[in-house]
């Protein structure tokens, strides 16, 4: 059981003052949230069972555990319609989320003698977060928000498609996005793993740390921008060349259909309520640039990305590699040092990713982020 | 020893008890304000209401596309030019400011400005309701802004009821201003209550006329009574407008916007009309088209100007603009930090409202005089504009020019048909909003059907029906979570359960 009280001042009801808001005049706003009485700290209870075994004179250790962490009394500025005069009401909502997972750790020392030692460590874990209770008022009303369902939906807008066949529907030759959200899958990975090993020979030791995730969805902003700006290698196409050769011409015909007649209506969440559309094969051209911009439409300034840029997070990373030489003590006499070592260290040495080719999925969000840093260096350590 | 323990215990419990008492004090941020002045609240709410929402050239250019005053010639089509939007939703953000207004009035209690702030509060509430209902249809009004009284999910009032309540609040606001003293913090009128009174009256005329398809005979009589009482705007000095300044927090949104201006053309609708009227505002609004200058035309010649057809596809517009085919926005708009003020409601508009009402028989009077006074006021407005002292291509508006304006197509069609005369009024009214960034008067265009906005189904981006003009914006999606029952009832009652942009709200039926 753990409790997290709100941070100091967060439940204060105060005016915000804007000095020099217009010309020389100052302005002020009342708070946008209501602060109720009797707010409780956010709480969680954790249930955990584990099994640990050590055999072969502690040369092999296995640890297996299962946990179920239930989080509740979320402190939330529960959304109010601004038509009420406030946008939030600071309360503990009734929603309850459980995080359940397995963790396995294996550590072992298969080799150990005077000159050689090999230590190996492996860990593997999996988890998922589920709604175990919903707040009648304040929980999301999206169709995928249900008790027992996962909370980590990747919400985005799909292209408008023919409901029966899934063919893309073009409008004046251009792709169209649905006006309603869809759930494209889960963002939390299926499982995570890590491995490290230390190999020592006399005074020399080699350390290696590998880890990675498997599964889980994530949007790539970098590739979306590469497509939109025309620098993606795959965007060099025949249609694009023709567009450029004759300015003003349109040479790309998207594969799919167009609406010839009829109309469609939807309910609040985007389910079709009536549909009289009649289709014909799309024969209206657009420019390849326009098509690429439409297909990969997204912006770091907000809004959902395109399903065309939704990738699997799966990657493997050689996170650290180091070679250390411990200087024997006999060489240290003249230096008054107790110990000394020299290491060559490399961090983020190697990355392999299933889908991400131009950016690093490590970090969970890729919003046109800078390339990750590769660090290569040398440490000299002296202990006096 | 035992005694010492007791003493210690007592001290500890005292410390615990006193720290409990101090909790409120300890948990109150000493750097935050728990009270402010009414004037500061007024300044903030007026700024947040009337300042252009996001003052930068890109968004400013976008905002001037909807009412077809201008066209963008970038290859990527801007939905706002083609009857759609990146954000096709209305909003209730303005209603959040009702809390601001409530505090503003409370904090002025007992001071000599109480009545003025009450008037301001009611006027703004009415303005928020009027805009919201025109944007969406049925909206909360009678229960809006009452979260403190426990109403977290305000009901949506029928649009007809919102119009009535807005009119009553404007009337009540006028009465409060009548008893009020000039007040501080006002960035629109400098706190002049006489101007606010006139505006409250003129706004009632506008609201009544906006519902002309549904107006009752009592409401027409009310219109006539307000005109007869004649406490209305009398000239450009009464214009409700927000003046920009050199101060970095209040510069004109288009200042320094050359990177946008080179893609931003005046529409064919505006250029053709101004040419037809021989109206020199053309030289204030536009630059000549480069290809016509290259062909030897002079910048002070009406024939050196050519507007961009707003319905043409974006890549065709882009191509034509590259070869200098269009008149771009006048360079003076990006040159001055202060620039032109943003007009929200003018004496000229009031004249056109009354002229229309006379033509429709709501009130007696000489429509021609009102038409001419309205046009003259707008021409004088540009004549006296400091930011238009230069850059008008040698065709500055003069008093002499104004006196001789009403000839040819610009002369009031007294001997023509009523429709011709109404169209003259509506066209002049539409021209007021050129490049103001004030949202235009789209509901008036929907109501009157004039000027006729060009629409090509091949380029329209209207997602539901490319052959029609959008009539409204969708309700904000958050309503489905924060006010679901009332939201559902509103779209079921009005729009057969479909919250689409082509659904027709009550006032247009």
Placement of tokens 């567009």 in the chain: A243
Q: How confident is the model at residue B17 (pLDDT cuts 50, 70, 90)?
A: very low
Q: Give the ipTM of the model, two decimals please.
A: 0.88
Interval A298-306 mean pLDDT: 79
Residue B16 has pLDDT above 50, yes or no: no
Mutate to test the interface with B, among A82, A160, A299 (most CBs of B within 10 A): A82
Give tens-digit pLDDT for B76-128: 899 999 999 999 999 999 999 999 999 999 999 999 999 999 999 999 999 99
Residue A66 has pLDDT above 80, yes or no: yes
Give the closest of B35, B247, B319 to A248, CB-based: B319
Q: What is the pLDDT of residue A140?
A: 83
Contact yes or no for A273 and B41 at CB 8 A: no
Interval B156-183 mean pLDDT: 98
Q: What is the pLDDT of residue B24?
A: 65
Give tens-digit pLDDT for A173-184: 999 999 889 999
* Beta bridge partners of residue A346, listed in sequence order: A321, A376
Interval B345-359 mean pLDDT: 98
Interval B45-51 mean pLDDT: 96
Contact yes or no for A267 and B28 at CB 8 A: no
pTM, to two decimals: 0.80
Token couple for B434? 């050129």
Strands (DSSP E) found in B99-164? none
Residue B18 has pLDDT above 70, yes or no: no
More confident site: A14 or A303: A14
Interval B491-497 mean pLDDT: 94
Q: How confident is the model at residue A227 (pLDDT cuts 50, 70, 90)?
A: very high
Give tens-digit pLDDT for B201-233: 999 999 999 999 999 999 999 999 999 999 999
Q: How confident is the model at residue B8 (pLDDT cuts 50, 70, 90)?
A: low
Give tens-digit pLDDT for A107-131: 999 999 989 999 999 999 999 999 9
Sequence-distant (≥ 6) Cβ neighbours of residue A334 within 8 angstroms: none
**What is chain A's mean pLDDT, rounded?**
91
Decide if A4 contacts A57 (C-beta within 8 A): no
Report d(CA A150, CA A189) in Å as an integer.
12
Interval B265-282 mean pLDDT: 98
Q: What is the pLDDT of residue B14?
A: 46
Residue A350: count of CB within 10 angstroms of its CB: 12
Interval A357-372 mean pLDDT: 86
Q: How confident is the model at residue A78 (pLDDT cuts 50, 70, 90)?
A: confident
Contact yes or no for A86 and B147 at CB 8 A: yes
Name the strand (E) or helix (H) holding B240. Answer: strand B240-242
Contact yes or no for A83 and B154 at CB 8 A: yes
For B137-162, b where at least 16 C-beta lie within 10 A, e where not — what string?
Answer: bbbbbebbbbbeeebbbbbbbbbeeb
Residue B348 has pLDDT above 50, yes or no: yes
More confident site: B49 or B24: B49
Interval A252-271 mean pLDDT: 89
Report d(CA B404, CA A42) in Å as an integer.
75
Q: How confident is the model at residue A339 (pLDDT cuts 50, 70, 90)?
A: confident
Token couple for B202? 């003129």
Give tens-digit pLDDT for A20-56: 999 999 999 999 998 877 788 899 999 999 999 998 8
Q: What is the pLDDT of residue A338?
A: 82
Question: How far apart are the two ends of chain B, measured CA to CA in Å?
Answer: 91
Interval B355-373 mean pLDDT: 97
Q: What is the pLDDT of residue B411?
A: 97
Q: What is the pLDDT of residue B6?
A: 61
Q: What is the pLDDT of residue B149?
A: 93
Q: What is the pLDDT of residue B136?
A: 97
Q: What is the pLDDT of residue A329?
A: 79
Give tens-digit pLDDT for B411-460: 999 999 999 999 999 999 999 999 999 888 999 999 999 999 999 999 99
Contact yes or no for A250 and B315 at CB 8 A: yes
Q: What is the pLDDT of residue B3?
A: 58
Q: How confident is the model at residue A369 (pLDDT cuts 50, 70, 90)?
A: confident
Mutate to test the interface with B, among A26, A30, A85 (most CBs of B within 10 A): A85
Decide if B142 contacts B209 (C-beta within 8 A): no
Placement of tokens 């015909």 in the chain: A253
Q: What is the pLDDT of residue B9?
A: 53
Give the closest of A81, A268, A289 to B483, CB-based: A81
Phi-psi region of A336 (alpha: psi -120 to 50; beta: other; left: phi over 0): left
Give tens-digit pLDDT for B306-342: 999 999 999 899 999 999 999 999 999 999 999 999 9
What are the distances in angstroms from CA A305 to CA A163, A167, B461?
Answer: 21, 20, 20
Give the closest of B151, B319, B499 to A84, CB-based: B151
For chain B, what percent of residues have pLDDT higher than 70?
95
Measured between CA atoms, the residue of chain A closest to residue B457 is A172
Measured between CA atoms, the residue of chain B closest to residue A8 is B27
> Which residues in chain B are closer than 8 Å to A29, comparing Cβ atoms?
41, 44, 100
Measured between CA atoms, the residue of chain A closest to residue B129 is A83
Mutate to test the interface with B, among A81, A89, A271 (most CBs of B within 10 A): A81
Report d(CA B89, CA B475) in Å as an integer.
6
**Which of A133-137, A189-193, A197-201, B505-509 is predicted least confidently?**
A133-137
Residue A372 has pLDDT above 90, yes or no: no
Residue B11 has pLDDT above 90, yes or no: no
More confident site: A331 or B112: B112
Name the strand (E) or helix (H) holding B493. Answer: helix B484-495
For B114-135, b where at least 16 C-beta lie within 10 A, e where not — what string?
Answer: bbbbbbbbbbbbbbbbbbbbbb
Nearest to B322 by CA among B150, B67, B61, B73: B73
Query: CB burial class (10 A; 0-12, 13-18, 19+) of residue B205?
Result: buried
Nearest to A72 by CA among A100, A47, A42: A42
Give the closest of A27, A179, A263 to B43, CB-based: A27
Measured between CA atoms, the residue of chain A closest to residue B100 is A30
Q: What is the pLDDT of residue B296?
A: 96
CA atoms within 13 A on the CB side of B195: 19
Q: What is the pLDDT of residue B64?
A: 97
> Which residues in chain A are closer than 8 Å to B480, comparing Cβ atoms?
141, 268
Q: What is the pLDDT of residue B19?
A: 47
The Cα angle at residue A246 between residues A244 and A251, in degrees rounded to 5: 75
Torsion of CA A295, B468, B138, B175, to 10 degrees: 120
């Amino acid at each position: 059981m753990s409790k997290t009280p709100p941070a100091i001042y967060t439940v204060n009801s105060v005016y915000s003052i804007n000095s020099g808001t217009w010309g020389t005049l100052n302005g002020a706003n009342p708070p946008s949230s209501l602060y109720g009485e009797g707010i409780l700290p956010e709480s969680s209870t954790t249930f955990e069972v584990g099994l640990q075994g050590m055999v072969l004179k502690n040369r092999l250790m296995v640890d297996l555990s299962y946990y179920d962490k239930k989080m509740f009394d979320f402190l939330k500025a529960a959304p109010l319609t601004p038509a009420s005069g406030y946008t939030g009401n600071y309360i503990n909502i009734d929603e309850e989320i459980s995080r359940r997972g397995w963790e396995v750790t294996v550590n072992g020392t298969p080799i150990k003698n005077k000159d050689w030692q090999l230590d190996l460590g492996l860990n593997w874990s999996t988890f998922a977060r589920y709604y175990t209770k919903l707040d009648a008022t304040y929980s999301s009303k999206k169709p995928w928000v249900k008790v027992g369902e996962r909370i980590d939906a990747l919400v985005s807008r799909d292209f408008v498609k023919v409901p029966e066949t899934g063919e893309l529907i073009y409008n004046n030759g251009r792709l169209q996005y649905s006006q309603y959200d869809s759930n494209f899958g889960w963002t939390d990975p299926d499982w995570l793993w890590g491995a490290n090993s230390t190999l020592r020979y006399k005074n020399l030791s080699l350390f290696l740390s590998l880890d990675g995730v498997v599964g889980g969805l994530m949007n790539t902003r970098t590739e979306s921008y590469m497509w939109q700006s025309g620098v993606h290698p795959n965007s060099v196409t025949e249609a694009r060349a023709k567009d450029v050769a004759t300015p003003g011409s349109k040479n790309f015909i998207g594969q799919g259909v167009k609406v010839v007649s009829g109309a469609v209506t939807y309910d609040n969440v985007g389910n079709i309520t009536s549909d009289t559309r009649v289709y014909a094969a799309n024969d209206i051209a657009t420019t390849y640039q326009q098509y690429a911009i439409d297909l990969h439409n997204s912006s770091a300034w907000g809004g959902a990305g395109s399903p065309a840029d939704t990738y699997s997070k799966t990657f493997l990373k050689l996170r650290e590699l180091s070679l250390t030489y411990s200087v024997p003590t006999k060489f240290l006499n003249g230096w008054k040092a107790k110990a000394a070592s020299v290491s060559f260290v490399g961090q983020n040495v190697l990355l392999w990713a299933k889908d991400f080719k131009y950016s690093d999925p490590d970090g969970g969000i890729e919003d046109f982020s800078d390339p990750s840093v590769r660090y290569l260096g040398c440490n000299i350590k002296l202990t006096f | 020893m035992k005694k010492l323990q007791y003493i210690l215990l007592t001290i500890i419990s005292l410390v615990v008890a006193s720290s409990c008492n101090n909790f409120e004090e300890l948990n109150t941020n000493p750097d935050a304000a728990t009270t402010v002045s009414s004037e500061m609240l007024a300044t903030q709410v007026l700024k947040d209401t009337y300042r252009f929402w996001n003052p930068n050239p890109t968004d400013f250019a976008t905002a001037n596309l909807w009412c077809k005053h201008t066209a963008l010639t970038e290859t990527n089509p801007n939905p706002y030019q083609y009857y759609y939007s990146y954000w096709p939703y209305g909003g209730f953000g303005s209603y959040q400011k009702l809390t601001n207004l409530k505090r503003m009035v409370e904090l002025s209690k007992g001071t000599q400005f109480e009545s003025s702030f009450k008037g301001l509060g009611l006027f703004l509430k009415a303005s928020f309701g009027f805009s919201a209902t025109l944007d969406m249809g049925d909206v909360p009004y009678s229960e809006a802004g009452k979260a403190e009284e426990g109403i977290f999910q305000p009901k949506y009032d029928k649009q007809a009821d919102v119009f009535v309540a807005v009119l009553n609040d404007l009337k009540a606001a006028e009465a409060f201003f009548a008893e009020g003293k000039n007040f501080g913090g006002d960035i629109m009128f400098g706190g002049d209550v006489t101007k606010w009174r006139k505006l409250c009256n003129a706004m009632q005329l506008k609201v009544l006329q906006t519902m002309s398809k549904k107006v009752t005979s009592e409401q027409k009589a009310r219109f006539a009574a307000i005109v007869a009482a004649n406490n209305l705007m009398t000239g450009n000095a009464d214009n409700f407008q927000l003046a920009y300044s050199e101060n970095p927090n209040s510069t004109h949104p288009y200042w320094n916007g050359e990177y946008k201006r080179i893609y931003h053309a005046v529409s064919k609708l505006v250029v053709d009309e101004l040419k037809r009227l021989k109206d020199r505002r053309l030289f204030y609004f536009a630059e000549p088209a480069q290809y016509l200058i290259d062909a030897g035309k002079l910048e002070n010649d009406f024939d050196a100007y050519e507007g961009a057809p707003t319905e043409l596809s974006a890549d065709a517009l882009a191509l034509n603009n590259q070869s200098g085919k269009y008149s771009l926005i006048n360079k003076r708009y990006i040159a001055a930090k202060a620039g032109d003020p943003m007009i929200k409601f003018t004496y000229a508009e009031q004249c056109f409202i009354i002229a229309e009402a006379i033509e429709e028989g709501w009130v007696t009077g000489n429509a021609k005089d009102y038409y001419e006074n309205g046009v003259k006021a707008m021409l004088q407005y540009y004549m006296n504009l400091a930011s238009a002292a230069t850059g008008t291509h040698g065709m500055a508006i003069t008093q002499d020019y104004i006196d001789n304006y009403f000839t040819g197509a610009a002369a009031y069609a007294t001997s023509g048909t009523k429709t011709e005369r109404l169209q003259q009024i509506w066209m002049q009214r539409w021209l007021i909003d050129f490049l103001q960034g004030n949202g235009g008067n789209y509901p008036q265009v929907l109501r009157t059907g004039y000027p006729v906005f060009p629409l090509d189904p091949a380029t329209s981006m209207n997602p539901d029906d490319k052959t029609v003009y959008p009539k409204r914006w969708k309700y904000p999606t958050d309503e489905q979570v924060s006010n679901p029952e009332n939201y559902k009832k509103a779209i079921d009652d009005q729009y057969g359960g479909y919250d689409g942009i082509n659904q027709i709200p009550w006032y247009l039926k």
